[in-house]
Amino acid sequence: MNEQDRQKRRALVVLQVVIYGYLALMIAIQLHLWAQRDW
């Protein structure tokens, strides 16, 4: 039970890291494009 719980928690942490990491990546790409082009 404990092991299962711990695995679940790790998976949830990974999920959060991946999601917010993706958003941060998209922001970075958009900012880069903004710097590169004349918006």
Partner 1 sequence: MTTTQLAGAGAGGGTIGLDDHAEESRDAQRRADRWLIGGTILMGTAVLGIFGLPLFLKGLSLQRQAQRSGLSVRPIIVTLIGYMVMLDAALNTFGWAIDLFANHTLVSRLFLPTWGNMFDAGYFWHYNELAVGGTSAPGEKAWEVVGVFVVFPMRIAACIGLLQMKRWGHQWMILTCWTGVIMWVGYVANMTVYADIRFTGVVFPVIGWWLYDIFYITPFVSLPYLHTVNREIFTD
Give contact residues for partner 1 (rule: CB under 8 A): 8-9, 12, 15-16, 19-20, 22-23, 26-27, 29-31, 33-34, 37, 39
Q: State in angstroms the smallest separation of the CB of 2 from partner 1.
A: 13
Report the residue number, 2 or 37, with the smaller CB distance to partner 1: 37
Cα separation, 13 vs 29, in Å, equals 24
- Compute the C-alpha angle 22/27/28, nearest 5°: 95
Q: State in angstroms the smallest separation of the CB of 33 from partner 1.
A: 5
